[in-house]
Amino acid sequence: MKYILLMSGTSAGVEGYHAWSKQDIEAHMAVLQRINKDLSASGEFVATQGLADPREAKLIRGEKNGMPVTDGVFPESKEFLLGYWIVDVANAQRAYAIAGQISAAPGPGGKPTNMPIEVRQFAAHEKPAK
């Protein structure tokens, strides 16, 4: 069963991450790398992507005179998608366990960041019954 695991954050949150110590940043990256390697080895890995900094985000709303209409500034509180993992796992519990590992990746001082990871399934062909 395929699930997508979403990691999001505000612009302020991303800036905060950039301000961690070198040691903390490297430790965090190493854990995420190891999770990717483990998922490859277990055959559960489907894909992972990192998205560019929220600074590079654009919001497009239709077009006018053949040109895309770019909406202005995002609200400060906006949660931007920072990256995701797509995994193919036996059941939902396993997806939550992987999300839990990502959430446990170390932050400042080596303590788990405890960041929330959103877990979603891919769309079924029918809408769920109301």
**Residue numbers of the site for other proteins (CB under 8 A)?**
4, 6, 14-15, 18-26, 29-30, 33, 36-37, 39-40, 45, 47-53, 55-63, 67-71, 78-81, 92, 96-97, 99-101, 103-104, 112-124, 127-128, 130
Of 58 and 76, CB closest to other proteins: 58
Residue 109 CB, nearest distance to other proteins (Å)?
A: 13
What is the enclosing helix (H) or strand (E) of 71?
Answer: strand 67-71
Torsion on CA atoms 90, 96, 98, 99, rounded to nearest 10: 150
**In terms of CB distance, is 13 or 104 closer to other proteins?**
104
What's the rounded Cα separation, in Å, for the pair 60 and 115? Answer: 29
Query: Residue 6 and residue 116: Cα distance in Å, rounded?
Result: 9
Least spacing, CB of residue 128 vs other proteins, in Å: 5
Between 61 and 90, name the residue whose CB sits nearer to other proteins.
61
Minimum distance from residue 58 beta carbon to other proteins (Å):
5
Cβ proximity to other proteins, 89 vs 117, nearer residue: 117
Backbone angles phi, psi at 84, to 5 degrees: -150, 165
Query: Shortest gap between Cβ of 24 and other proteins (angstroms)?
Result: 8
Contacts of 51 (CB under 8 A, 6+ apart): 80, 81, 82, 83
| Cα distance from N-terminal residue to C-terminal residue, the chain | 23
